[in-house]
Structure 1
Amino acid sequence: MPTPEPLSAGQRTLRLTAIALIAGALALAFAASAGWLTPARLTPGRIVDALQGHDGLHPGFRRAHAKGVCVIGEFAGNGAGAALSKAALFAAGARVPVVGRFSTGGGIPDAPDGRVVFHSMALSFTLPDGSQWRTGMNHVPIFPVATPQDFLAFQLATRPAPATGKPDPARVAAYLAAHPETRAFMAWLREHPLPSSFANGTYYSVNAFRFIDAAGTARTVRWRMQPEAPFAELDKATLAQRDADFLFADLATRLRAGPLRWQLIVTLAGPGDAGNDATRPWPADRRELTLGTLTLERATLEDDGPCRDLTFDPLILPAGIAASDDPLLAARSAAYARSFTRRAGEPAPRSALARDPSFRETVR
């Protein structure tokens, strides 16, 4: 093979210039995609910054739903879902392992349970082919905002003022005056009873998704996990007198006594039902199907539990389930990833539940 002729000084300069231009273009594109060149652009970092600004920076913890506990169990499909989705967990006789997490709303990891906030259930199903379905659900069937931009604005409007430690009433009032959907959410949370336990709450997907059957037909759906445990109302008037971790202690005690079960119920959208607006409930007369049973068998501390390093990204979906055009889904996915990156690089302090001797005893 002939030896290539050496490059002249001018050719070397041109080549180095081309490499620099390509590298610069890539950096420019990366910076633009990250929002660094457009500070007003909404980015995952801005959303996570707003969460930290709202509830404070707590290194090593999730920026939202900071207080939580892991749970372990399985899901058994009853076959009814196979007509709607080709996802393997809906086949008759299917049984798949589940890792989950119960949490309360907010970004303060040692917040007392006696607050009027929503309760959440997050689940990760592992299908036989190794794919996963992850879902984060709230006990409230609607969300306070419809878009990522409004979510950011809501966090900023309700951010505590440094001088008082409470949100600025004028700022909150101005936001609510312009957002009737948020007022409706707050009214729902205020007027409806809180479940007395994680175990007797119903948990809603809130966002819409699409189920896709074997023929490729897609249907817009929402779902909920409905408990077998009978509902009981939490007395809001006595919340301040309850133990700081009473919800989590109750869950662990119940699981030590035996498994807890929920039915997965899917609701099919009807004509005119919004698939892209989580603030709008669907009519109660929509068609529903029960697709199987979730059984949770034990709880474990998140500090070293199987849910610690899971993000319950709503866009981690198996074949047969797809995202709707709800803009919150992509924003949730990106913000969860950014939150995980931050906390993974921080020291991991012990959680409030790990420091509670009585709670540690119940999860052994």
Structure 2
Amino acid sequence: MQQEPQREARPLDARQICLRLGAIGAVVLVSGTAFAFVGGWLDPQRLTPDRVVDALEANSGRHEGYRRNHAKGVCVAGHFESNGAAQALSTAAVFAPGNTPVVGRLAVPGGNPYASDSSAPIRSFALRFTSANGEQWRTGMNSMPVFVVATPQAFYEQQLAAHPDPKTGKPDPQRMQAFFAAHPETAAFRAWAKTAKPSASYATESYHGLNAFYFIDAQGKRQPVRWHLAPLDATPAPAALPQHDADYLQADLQQRLAQGPLRWRLLVTLGAPGDSTSDATQQWPADRPTVDAGTVVITRSASQDEGPCRDVNYDPTVLPRGIAISDDPILAARSAAYAASYERRTSEGPPPAAPAPSHPTRQEHAQ
């Protein structure tokens, strides 16, 4: 069937941009929810993991048995082929030459497991590496290059600002404008979001770790790092078009895997003195050296309800020896909020069976 040409996007006006940013910002957090320092508390009277998860539920609705963010996703599995290049930077067994099994999850942001794949232009990729010595490395990555806010408190305030107006079902533009005006650190994310478009494939996305960590070598030297996955030999996919249904990402994934494994290079960027390790809204300069540590190879997928990722909490502070957290407060926040979400969904039992995939008409997509 001949594919109709993609129409040129018209510039968004200020109100549309604000609404879009509100919708994206309300669900953006594979990289972290909000709350806590190492002990798990900022101030028990002000902010707790449960209050953050409550705010996410208030914005997306309560869906028992599902993750409170990135509720819609698919399990994937395969292995990591280390080329040994990162072994000089970190003693983690995962970087020794050879293969390490991985269990992952590809997802779209938001707490609604029935949302359309085009509801936000962000895709996420979480991975659990399990080395032969039993140590694990868990990481959650997003297709955006920077995080929206720098602190757990700011993220919580963002959720409150993005709460849908009962009359419209969308965030109040004035309330979102006030939030962004009070948080100039959101500028880099907002600039990205204005031009970002939902892709038609998980396989063609680059996924960024966003937060900084430390690699520790055999001499105990600590090197600040950030990492991302870059697709390798992926057939290009257009932006989502009207003929795509609400669940096109999983269908595309299955079609691609039927033709062979999917691959991403694991690229580690080395920070220099002065590069922020505590603020995920700040990108490091583009000239920082990058180490190609190997290739993530995905060979199969499975339903998130029954697949190997179902009971995995992708807590990014679960790290092997040779990798350590930085001073970024969002990291401890993610750990605490992920634990609260995990406890809720596992105590609720398995999620109900998902409805059959919908296939909207082109007219419905245009509305």
Shorter-chain TM-score bucket reads 0.7 to 0.9
The match for 2:135 is: 131
1:98 and 1:351 mapped to 2: Cα distance? 26
The one-letter amino acid paired with 1:342 is R
Given the alignment, which residue of 77, 82, 85 partners 1:77?
Answer: 82
Given the alignment, which residue of 283, 294, 297 partners 1:295?
Answer: 297
Q: Which has the higher contact order (CA 8 A, sep 6+)?
A: 2
1:194 and 1:234 mapped to 2: Cα distance? 9
Change (3 A) 1:215 1:165: same
1:127 and 1:172 mapped to 2: Cα distance? 44
The match for 1:151 is: 155
The match for 2:15 is: none
Q: What is the CA-CA distance between 1:195 and the residue it aligns to?
A: 3.6
The one-letter amino acid paired with 1:269 is G
Q: Are residues 1:39 and 2:45 paired?
A: yes
Q: What is the CA-CA distance between 1:348 and the residue it aligns to?
A: 2.2
SS where residue 242 of structure 1 aligns? coil
Change (3 A) 1:79 1:158: same
The match for 2:108 is: 104
1:255 and 1:341 mapped to 2: Cα distance? 32
1:154 and 1:357 mapped to 2: Cα distance? 31
Change (3 A) 1:133 1:327: same
Report the number of matched residues.
321
Q: Are residues 1:67 and 2:69 paired?
A: no
The match for 2:25 is: none
Q: Say which one has the larger Rg.
A: 1
Given the alignment, which residue of 251, 254, 261 partners 1:252?
Answer: 254
Q: What is the CA-CA distance between 1:233 and the residue it aligns to?
A: 5.7
Change (3 A) 1:37 1:157: closer
Contact (CA 8 Å) 1:110, 1:351: kept in 2 or not?
no
Q: Are residues 1:90 and 2:95 paired?
A: yes
Q: What is the CA-CA distance between 1:271 and the residue it aligns to?
A: 2.5
The match for 2:125 is: 121
SS where residue 198 of structure 1 aligns? coil
Contact (CA 8 Å) 2:103, 2:128: kept in 1 or not?
yes
The match for 1:214 is: 218
SS where residue 261 of structure 1 aligns? strand
1:53 and 1:246 mapped to 2: Cα distance? 27
The match for 2:337 is: 335
Contact (CA 8 Å) 1:193, 1:234: kept in 2 or not?
no
The one-letter amino acid paired with 2:173 is P
Change (3 A) 1:174 1:85: same
Q: What is the CA-CA distance between 1:161 and the residue it aligns to?
A: 1.7
1:195 and 1:321 mapped to 2: Cα distance? 32
- 5+ long unaligned stretches in structure 1: 1-32, 359-364
2:139 and 2:302 mapped to 1: Cα distance? 19
Report the aligned-residue RMSD. 2.0
Contact (CA 8 Å) 1:194, 1:233: kept in 2 or not?
no
For residues 281-319 of structure 1, the C-alpha deviation after alignment (integer angstroms, 9 at most, x for no partner) is 111100111011111000000111110000110000000
For residues 92-148 of structure 1, the C-alpha deviation after alignment (integer angstroms, 9 at most, x for no partner) is 2x2110000000011110001122331000000001111100000001110001100
The match for 1:173 is: 177
2:159 and 2:197 mapped to 1: Cα distance? 25
Q: Give matches, 1:176-255, under 5 Å.
A: 176-230=180-234, 232=236, 234-235=238-239, 238=241, 241-255=243-257
Contact (CA 8 Å) 2:40, 2:332: kept in 1 or not?
no
Moved over 4 A (4+): 33-38
Contact (CA 8 Å) 2:118, 2:198: kept in 1 or not?
no
The match for 1:3 is: none
Change (3 A) 1:190 1:116: farther
Q: What is the CA-CA distance between 1:231 and the residue it aligns to?
A: 6.9
Q: What is the CA-CA distance between 1:206 and the residue it aligns to?
A: 0.4
2:288 and 2:44 mapped to 1: Cα distance? 43
**Larger helix fraction of residues:** 1
The match for 2:34 is: none
Q: What is the CA-CA distance between 1:194 and the residue it aligns to?
A: 4.4
The match for 1:27 is: none
The one-letter amino acid paired with 1:157 is A
